[in-house]
Chains A and B, each alone.
Chain A
Amino acid sequence: MTTLAPPAVREKKTTVNGGRSGPVAWMAVPALLMFLAFGVVPLLGVVALSFTTWDGLGDIHPSGLTSWRAVLGDPGLVHALWVTFLIMALSWLFQTPLSLLIGTFLAGRQRYREVLAVIYFLPLLLSSAALAITYKALLDPNFGLGPGLGSSLLTQDWLGRGNLALGVVVFVVSWQFIPFHSLIYQGGVRQIPVSLYEAAQLDGAGTVRQFFRITLPQLKYTIITSSTLMVVGSLTFFDLIYVLTAGGPSDATRALALDMYQRGFKASLMGPASAIAVILVLVGLGLALLLRRLGGDADESQLEGA
């Protein structure tokens, strides 16, 4: 770091720094404007649009509660919510124990574990579209891995049957995100003071016992952070399902985000689609708050480097 003591070449008229609050506020303005324009305004906009009728092309007409009535009275919404929660719950159940174990394992500093970490990370690099296409080809009942290996267990109409398709979605989602959560847990485990383990070792506790008595309790906040990201993130699965199953077969994997897309951009019902988007935001916020309550005060710094 040779740059640490920079020659003060630019002897501008000394900063009129009355205190620590110099004229820095303007530096936040570009980011603020961008985020207002494409983040905050759309968020308010989606609420406003949910009280209108719009086909996506023509004029927008205010129509009061029409869209909300249409959405809330539609069994499709209940189904989409159910599918969303099912994917959320199953992928949490699948991902959390595995990420925990893998993260703990990767926390060891042996060389080969670092190599493994690089491999584990690969799925995160693939786009959901690429992933979906890969699995679609792999699971093809005629030309995929199953028939190629002559394995009848692997030869199923994976994407053609409702329950199986949902299971495939959960699996592929986990395949994609377990590396990410493993990394979070790896960081968490490495922060646990080694002295705890040394003490446990002196007391004769085995590794399994150490895991349940020390690692797991110490990781409480990490688990909450990871679970929050998992649960809230699962509300927004779209690309993967869109390419993998397009919500099918029939509507077995039509989760909330996909339901919104189909209504808005396929059926040209932007009003009801906006109402669903509002529900999406509310459910997400509700879940995030709930998990936060659950963990007492999980401080922000747990997210650091995530």
Chain B
Amino acid sequence: MSDLPLIQADRAVPPPATTTSRGGRGRRLRLLSRTDRVVITLMVLVPLLLVVGLVWLPALATVALSGTNWDGIGPLSEIDWVGARNYDDVVNNYPPFMPAVQNNLLWLAALFVVATPFGMFLAVLLDKELRGSRFYQTALYLPVVLSLALIGFVWQLIYSRDQGLLNAVLGGDTDWYGDPHVNIWAVLFAAGWRHVGYIMLLYLAGLKGVDPSLREAAAVDGSSEASTFFRVVFPVMRPINIIVLVVTVIESLRAFDLVWVINKGRNGLELLSALVTANVVGEASRIGFGSALATIMLVVSLVFITLYLFTVMREDRR
């Protein structure tokens, strides 16, 4: 927060010549009429209440509930504090937990190691002024407008055992969505299909922002196209790189729709998000236990959200 004065200096209203000033903030506040102050308060307060009430307080409540044994039905007075027992149960007595963690990590790895570099590669290719570039771009990010739930359906036409294209072409009889040995890969392929277009779009915008004289200078120095990219362009795009990293992590952590429409996240498609949901809306609603799972997600995501905030806010200030 040490950069704060910097923004203030940027935004400060120059004092009207006649005002005898007494410190920046108080002065500006006094210029506002009472109605103005009420209006400003309302403009901030109403949205803030909504976001705090429906996002931040529930997030805190999740953390608090994760230390209790509440069954979700009884009155709040019957809650007992059980410390870390829920976490212990999650890790040691809950068979789907480890597969879910593995699948979430696999999801992250697949997006990060395959889909993201591929999207970046395509952006670099499309950044050259090519004829028909617009068509290629449109085709690549078309999947981005489809919901992941819908993508589950679209790919069913390819993966289905009896009516799918893949088996018709390969002649096998694999149930690509049903077989726990292969279904996570099938799902990841569909998720990656969408992710590539999104990353391509972000990098394409990033590349357009790179100062062309940097590249020219590198070319004059006799640097090859590839080494110019890795040594000059890529490092300059650092903010975009961090944003893409965070987007990829958050997407892998929030992955839900696709597995939920396929089989509610069971049988090879376990994901943390699906386990939390199953523990709350399922028949056996285990609140404390589900909250412990949710808290784990929350903590992981907050680490990356913080990284994100630092990156974008520093960018803002430049």
User: Do A and B assemble together?
Assistant: no
